[in-house]
Amino acid sequence: MPLDLKRLVAGRLGENYELHFRHLNRTLVEVQRIIGFDRVYTRASGAWLYDAEDRAYLDFLSGYSVYNIGRNHPALKRAIQETLELDLPNMVQMDCSLLSGLLAEALLKKMPSHLDAVFFCNSGTEAVEGALKFARAATGRAGLLSFQGAFHGLTHGSLSVMGDAHFQEGFGPLLEGCVRVGLGDLAALQRELESGRYAALIVEPVFGKGVLYATAEFYQRAQELCRASGTLLIADEVQTGLGRTGRWWGFEHWGLEPDLVTVAKSLSGGYVPCGAVVARRWIYQRTFSRLDRCVVHSSTFGRNNLAMACGLATLQVIEEEQLVARAESVGAELLDRLTALQRRHSVIKEVRGKGLMIAIEFHEPRELAARMGWKLLHRLEPELFCQMLVTALLTRHGVLCQIAGHGMDVIKLIPPLVIGEREIAHFMAAFESVLEDCRTFPGPIWELGANFVRNSLRRLPAVPQEPG
């Protein structure tokens, strides 16, 4: 009998977490149950998720910025269906497929003109791995320079330039020759680059962890130092690219001209994994330098037809729906409203961001009751306060978001770029309600934090971090 997928899903929906506990990552299941994230979503559209009772949840996480164009966009569904109907030969490998050529052409039209070569892969970390290899091959150097606190992926090379020790723990030894300096520490950066040891400096234009970024002067000077020292500049646009920050690419905010750019996440449209390394042609050719090295770096599924079709459709949707400009204007509106809210709630330390990549950072509030709750949770676990807020937003108001990094009192908002007044109003009402609840200690919202502690002591740590 042929597989009846609709019947299978309908018959077993609700077994999600039990299946994962038995066969996949049971630690993650434990954590999701502890923090109240064990929801069973049954459908999705745009910026919204829905459960079996058709309750709506506002998605301000968007699959870690995969769904810039929203979930289940009809243009992507149509592109997939049309590709399947064409019955094209796929992944012949010893050929040059049309769709990968077309996507490369379309992607380069969105890039600065000095970037003119594309390598396709599947994910952000795979794109970073490729960029690091390209840089080493092009320069003949082994050193790799990055910034403390940056996130570049979880495979071995990406992990080696990662600026977060939490993700590195237990996976060493990592690549040799990888050094990190503080973002904004120009003296340290200059000292390292002048050594002439580094193949590349890799930069997230806006850090995924905490939504941090340096000044224009720092970025410009970093680029100048790279040029002077023969070090290539890699812009990691896996999360910041394709309109997220209100520009096509995050590096455009500071007028940078990177030598390589990594792209992934939202290039897929959320259906078929799709990543890319975009480079100067001479850098590209240093890797594929001889006829016998024509496939010295490759990715089996990197140019598959479904991924290429999704990439083409995604670029067209972003262009036709003017989502880059929308991210800038809607992001500015959301930032303005959050800044106004900050004036009424002393627990908010800072609101910052670019486009629809926004961080809300907290600190100890002035009010006595709230300050008591803050101190209690921070003595137990630094991230518990933000996790308490995030859980309350989901369980009480149907808003999905996540804390932004280890040791940070930061919540990050990365909604689909399609959001408008309805979504902003829903989030702001929910967020202000949760903040109002924080004024009363003890109270129901603080009990959430106490429950996390009790559950984690009985079982496992209960504060997951965003992995990308």
Res 465 pLDDT > 70:
no
Instruction: Please indicate, yes or no, if residue 204 is contained in any of the structural domains.
Output: yes
Joined tokens for residue 240: 């910041």
Give the Cα separation of 159 and 167 in Å (integer).
Answer: 8
Q: Please list, in sequence order, all residues whose beta carbon lies within 8 angstroms of the beta carbon of residue 99, skipping any fewer than 6 positions away.
A: 83, 88, 303, 305, 308, 309, 312
Give the Cα separation of 78 and 309 in Å (integer).
Answer: 10
Give the Cα separation of 306 and 393 in Å (integer).
Answer: 36
Instruction: Please indicate, yes or no, if residue 463 is contained in any of the structural domains.
Output: no
- The per-residue pLDDT for range 125-184, each reduced to its tens digit, is 999 999 999 999 999 999 999 999 999 999 999 999 998 888 999 998 999 999 999 999
Joined tokens for residue 4: 């009846």
Q: Helix, strand, or coil here: 358?
A: strand
- Residue 180: predicted pLDDT: 97
CA-based end-to-end distance of the chain: 40
Q: Are 202 and 146 in contact (CB under 8 A)?
A: yes
CATH code assigned at 81 = 3.40.640.10
Give the Cα separation of 359 and 348 in Å (integer).
Answer: 11
- Residue 369: predicted pLDDT: 82
Is 210 found in the same domain as 86? yes
Q: Helix, strand, or coil here: 410?
A: strand
Q: pLDDT: is 233 or 371 the higher one?
A: 233
Is 296 found in the same domain as 383? no
Please tell me the least confidently modeled range out of 69-73, 371-375, 407-411, 460-464: 460-464
Q: Which residues is 426 bridged to in the sheet?
A: none
Is 213 found in the same domain as 64? no
Question: Please, what is the average pLDDT of the chain?
Answer: 94
Is 105 found in the same domain as 232? yes
Residue type, 233: L
189: left (phi over 0), alpha (psi -120 to 50) or beta: alpha
- Residue 467: predicted pLDDT: 66
Average pLDDT score over residue span 406-434: 95
Rg (CA), the chain: 23
Q: Which residues is 400 bridged to in the sheet?
A: 59
Give the Cα separation of 109 and 379 in Å (integer).
Answer: 52
Instruction: Please indicate, yes or no, if residue 464 is contained in any of the structural domains.
Output: no
pLDDT grade for 83, boundaries at 50, 70 and 90: very high
Could you tell me the CA-to-CA distances from 384 to 355, 377, 391, 402 in Å, in that order?
27, 6, 10, 12
Is 297 found in the same domain as 412? no
> Which class for 462: exposed (0-12), middle (13-18), buried (19 or more C-beta within 10 A)?
buried
Give the Cα separation of 134 and 378 in Å (integer).
Answer: 44
Predicted TM-score of the model (pTM): 0.94
Is 416 found in the same domain as 309? no
* Residue 205 CA from chain centroid, whole number: 12
Is 404 found in the same domain as 312? no
Res 462 pLDDT > 90:
no
- Residue 164: predicted pLDDT: 85
Is 387 found in the same domain as 250? no
Res 463 pLDDT > 60:
no
- The per-residue pLDDT for range 445-460, each reduced to its tens digit, is 777 777 776 766 565 4
Give the Cα separation of 113 and 56 in Å (integer).
Answer: 43
Q: Helix, strand, or coil here: 385?
A: helix
Domain housing 415: 9-69+323-458
Residues above pLDDT 90, as percent of the chain: 85
Q: In what order do the strands lie in the sheet with 357-362?
A: 348-354, 357-362, 410-413, 402-403
Q: Are 378 and 407 in contact (CB under 8 A)?
A: no
Give the Cα separation of 435 and 360 in Å (integer).
Answer: 12
Of 295, 320, 345, the residue at which a domain comes to its end is: 320
Q: Are 250 and 111 in contact (CB under 8 A)?
A: no
Q: Are 69 and 318 in contact (CB under 8 A)?
A: yes
Of 320, 351, 384, the residue at which a domain comes to its end is: 320
- Residue 379: predicted pLDDT: 83
pLDDT grade for 262, boundaries at 50, 70 and 90: very high
Tell which residue, 104, 140, 107, has the closest CA to residue 289: 140
Give the Cα separation of 28 and 245 in Å (integer).
Answer: 30
